[in-house]
Chain A
Amino acid sequence: MFDYRALGLKVGIEIHQRLNTHKLFCNCPSLLKEEEPPLWFKRRLRVSRSELGLIDPAAKFEQLRDREFLYGVYPDTICEVELDECPPLPINEEALTTSIEVALMLKMSVIDEIHVMRKIVIDGSNTTGFQRTALVAVGNENSYIETTYGPVRIKTLCLEEESAFIVESTPLKAKYKLDRLGIPLVEIATEPDIWHPEQAKEAALRLGRLLRATGKVMRGIGTIRQDLNISISKGARQEVKGVQELNAIPEIINREIQRQISLLEIMKELKARGLSDDAFNGRILEVTDLLREVSTGFVKRAISRGERAYGVLLPSMKGILAKEIQPGRRFGTELSDYAKVFGGVGGIIHSDEAHSYGFEEDLIAKILKELGGGSEDAFVLVLSSEKVAKLALNAVLERARLALREIPTETRKPLPDGNTSFSRPLPGSERMYPETDIPPINSKAIVEKVSQALPEYPEDTIARLIDTYGISQELAELLFDSWRFKLFEEIASNYPKISPSFIATTLTSTLTALKREGIPIEKLEDRTFIEIFAYLNEGRLAKEAIPEVLAELALDKTVSLEEIVSERYMTMEQLDKIIDAKIAELQREISERGERAYGMLMGRVMAEVRGRIDGAVVSKRVKKKLSEFLQKTQK
């Protein structure tokens, strides 16, 4: 697709993994809830204005919005710590131990005395206005992971607290739930050694496996996420935050490359059109009256709601806004992102696409004229209040002006198709100061304890599964990635009669298939699987019945395996009765064909008993009954 080496692609990844333990600085459970929080508190965050010049652009950006934050609390599982109503408790030692375990598995140098820091974050996602974070280990010459595209060095490993979950956000107000705030997160950052999109995916996969090897990480959607730092040599660094699907990584990188190339082309084109910085001095003007003749529904509705139309001129930019920069995203979409984020508007209308909203050419020309422009220019309109329009359109103007000079470094949000959208300017160097409420922690004792018994490396586990149980590489990897390899080992060693491959398939592809059908397989407990295989081992359950039994158990919590099996389980007497009945039905055929009627008889019997009794048992019994019948009738 691209010549990545020539483009100078550089990617670094940051993996964030939630740990399966209570919160990092209090004893609250790391429990996410779905219901609406019963209590809400209102807060504001403040940093001194004199520091704004120095505060990172992200902080400034949030500060300028002077927002109100609402925090939802579940009083039974959220305490004073999350609400910033009391100082933090000492760091969760289990979480710290796990982070050190991961660091040692990556052969990193653990910091001798760990200092918890406060990283200023004033978007409201932390009630304190900062995120507590500690550098636990740094990379050395031995700290790297191998990929098929070459090694990727590990830079740092931090232990930090998860932010609050955002429920709703407008420029004036943001709502968060505090159930997620404070869950321990291990953050592993690589050097920007990655030069190929597939390499990024591979590196993420390997790091993810390594984390899972500790057995102490959370599983499920959102519990692990990747941030990608992407740049090409002529472009600018972008941080795509919160990628959850490994498979999406290469596409996101490719599309980012494409975006940067397109933006560079736009820059060239704008320069060729002789644009300069001071060309973007257009004023924001109201054009509501011009729009009254438009028949477009949403425009009419907005105006009748009392909203007004404001516009700004983008000189010499005709056609640029329609230029595609990623599949399905145009430069106009980038401008629209800025208007949405900074102004909180639903979207923009721009001249390159106004006709698709039913604006006649004549009207487009009138608007351009009203804004002081002509046919070579472009405009952007928003429908809103004056205050919002100013926020939105000034941001649009600023973004358009930047297009002439540079690709702005941004934090971007991944979209399902692999594109990304603007979420905020990239923070500068972080403002950090010590968390004075937590004394420094000497790591020596933990390092000594942990180094004595490091978890098995994922590749060793996979190799051992293949060796010991004779399953395929693919199954072994699937088992590891599905988290169920320990369960597999328990079942396979308890029931040597059952084929390990069958156990492995059940725990992997069978479950995946059920999941695709919408069965909530996450409700199945390890205990259930062990029981099922015990029944199978005793011949009380047929292999073929397992998927159905699993589905039933996952869907109905009240049903026990015992109940399901006894309902399905077929005694030999019952089987005999069925065989006898079928023989009677097929009497004529059997008499004609003799032993050769077995296939037909077996088929009829199985059609009735499938899933309730093992096929091998049925076959034996059918053969016996058939020969008995033939003997009897031939006599």
Chain B
Amino acid sequence: MPLSYRGCARELLQVKGIEDYDLIRIIRRDGVELSGILIPRAKLEDDKHIVLKLRNGYNVGISIESISEIELLSKRGEIRKEKGKITHEIPVGKLPRVPLIVTGGTITSKVDYATGAVKPYERPEELLDLIPEISEIANLSYIPLMSIFSENMTAQQWIRIAKEVEKEINSGSEGVIIAHGTDTMHFTAAALSFLLEGLFKPVILVGAQRSIDRPSTDAVLNLFSAVKMAVEGPIAESMIVMHGSPSDDYAYAIRGVRARKMHTSRRDAFLSINEPPLAKITRKSIEIINKSYNKKRKDGEVKATEKMQDRVALIYSWPGISPDFLDFIVEKGYFGLILAGTGLGHVPTVLIPKIRELTKDGIPVVMTSQCLFGRTNLNVYETGRLLLDAGVIPVGDMLPEVALVKLMYVMGKTSDIDEIKRMMGENLRGEISKFLSITVFPPGRGF
């Protein structure tokens, strides 16, 4: 076992041959004796304290200045493996096969009570052990693809996930579940919507707002609902399945190109913007709310697009934004720009000449709205008409993040500006609505 301490604390421990997780005794200058396991110290913390896990379970940080004696009691090497017997058995029946592709995030990790460290699950049995009811409806397999925080996702990784999904579905899986960090889950969901051509089985992203090491984790309901949706649901789209309320009673399936994380921490953070959720999933039933969806089919072939143009930027406009802010687009070699404009899709008029320059250079500039709810409309005010004249592409009620992902996808397919314009304005996966119901706003008042 290494020693994670640095600086003064490290010196003090190293001399005694002490490493992380060793059992040690510290005698303080005030005579207090404390023994416990040496807990590793994060790099961001200072080098003035030594952290012990006492026998009563509490962690305490002892200032090195207060220490009069320090003693190694026993080498623990590694914390004794918790010999939790896995009681769960993977059923070998005719249950539909549903792979769980793990990309990271807290949904697939567990806590080590001895140290408090959070580690990813290594086997599906461990997860099934927590949510045994899954094995009554599906044969879950486990594909640890990557282990990253979702904020570190890139277009290349979306493609990797898409290829994995392609492989699984074409080889007979009933649907695919993707465990994902929630921060950018809706970007990935949108990316998969576009990347997977000819999708005929459900692809479901699922995550947890309360990590799985907590007894109150939302992962249990989310994961169960995702599997249920994959196995029993009629929808073959890229979707997000997460809590529908702060209670543990139902989840919503939201179309990937309509989902958005709208709260930093609540269980029901994901909302379906500009259309009702696709379905409500309870322990016992799936209720279809939105009847317009791509139907699941028995046979087919899905093809993952393997190219995206990731040099595309998304800019959130603000009052006073200066035209030179857009200079980096050309300078840094970006090939496309999404604007999250204000209101119906506006930016300050001082930006318009610069935007015209960009479009003339063949850089597509797409207009979305910061309002998120409702459509852009560039015909109402003069600024809008000037923007249209400058070559801006309006995309209706498409969400800014979805427009970003879609532009990456479209530009991966073609560099012809007219074709890009046509594809951006066309509804490919349900990202642009023909019909905006009065009931979708404000959200959460019933559908």
Residues of A within 8 A of B (CB): 41-54, 80, 83-87, 109, 111-115, 117-120, 122, 127-130, 133-135, 138, 140-141, 156, 158, 429-434, 436, 440, 442, 444
Contact = CB atoms under 8 A, between A and B. Distances in A.
A119 B58 CA distance: 9
A251 to B, nearest CB: 30
Name the 3 nearest CB pairs between A and B, nearest first: A129-B215, A113-B61, A432-B57
Contacts, number: 141
A322 B94 CA distance: 56
B247 interface: yes
A363 to B, nearest CB: 44
Nearest to B131: A46
Given A53-B85, A112-B49, A128-B215, A436 B247 contact: no
Nearest to A127: B216
B39 to A, nearest CB: 8
Given A43-B248, A44-B220, 7 more contacts: A47-B215, A48-B110, A48-B129, A50-B129, A85-B246, A113-B61, A119-B57
B59 interface: yes
Given A46-B220, A433-B111, A440-B45, A135 B60 contact: yes
Interface of B: 28, 30-32, 34, 45, 49, 51, 54, 56-63, 66, 82-88, 110-113, 115-116, 118, 126, 129-132, 210, 213-217, 220-221, 245-249, 264-267
A455 B360 CA distance: 76
A433 B116 contact: yes
Contacts of A436: 116, 118
Contacts of B247: 41-43
Contacts of A112: 49, 60-63, 66
B63 A113 contact: yes
A433 B113 contact: yes
Given A49-B129, A80-B266, A87-B265, A115 B215 contact: no
20 contacts: A41-B245, A46-B131, A48-B126, A49-B87, A50-B129, A80-B265, A109-B28, A109-B32, A112-B60, A113-B61, A113-B62, A130-B214, A134-B58, A138-B60, A430-B56, A431-B113, A432-B57, A433-B113, A433-B115, A440-B51
Main secondary structure of the interface of B (DSSP, over half): loop
A318 B237 CA distance: 68
A434 B87 CA distance: 27
Contacts of A141: 31
A45 B84 contact: no
A128 B62 CA distance: 28
A402 to B, nearest CB: 25
Contacts of B56: 135, 156, 429-430
Contacts of B217: 46
B167 to A, nearest CB: 30
A46 B210 CA distance: 12
Contact of A434 (B59, B86, B110): B59
Contacts of B130: 46-49
Contacts of A109: 28, 30, 32
Interface centre among B28, B220, B248 (most CB of A within 10 A): B248
Contacts of B266: 80, 85-86
A404 B248 CA distance: 43
Contacts of A86: 264-266
Contacts of B118: 436
A127 B31 CA distance: 39
Contacts of A114: 60-61
Nearest to A62: B215
A430 B57 contact: yes
Contacts of A41: 245-247
B58 A432 contact: yes
Nearest to A86: B265
Contact of A50 (B28, B85, B112): B85
A138 B265 contact: no
A348 B173 CA distance: 53
Contacts of A47: 130, 215
B59 A115 contact: yes
A456 to B, nearest CB: 24
A544 to B, nearest CB: 57
B402 to A, nearest CB: 26
A166 B9 CA distance: 46
A113 B31 contact: no
Contact of B86 (A50, A83, A140, A429): A50
Nearest to A135: B58
Contacts of B246: 41, 83, 85
Contacts of B221: 44
Nearest to A429: B57
A54 B61 CA distance: 27
Contacts of B215: 45-47, 120, 122, 128-130
Nearest to A70: B247
Contacts of A138: 32, 34, 60
B32 A140 contact: yes
Interface centre among B113, B215, B220, B245 (most CB of A within 10 A): B215
Contacts of B86: 50
A84 B45 CA distance: 27
A45 to B, nearest CB: 4
Given A112-B62, A434-B59, A54 B265 contact: no
Contacts of A54: 82-84
Contacts of A48: 84, 110, 126, 129-130
B214 A128 contact: yes
A47 B111 CA distance: 11
Contacts of A49: 87-88, 129-130, 132
Contact of A85 (B82, B85, B126, B267): B267
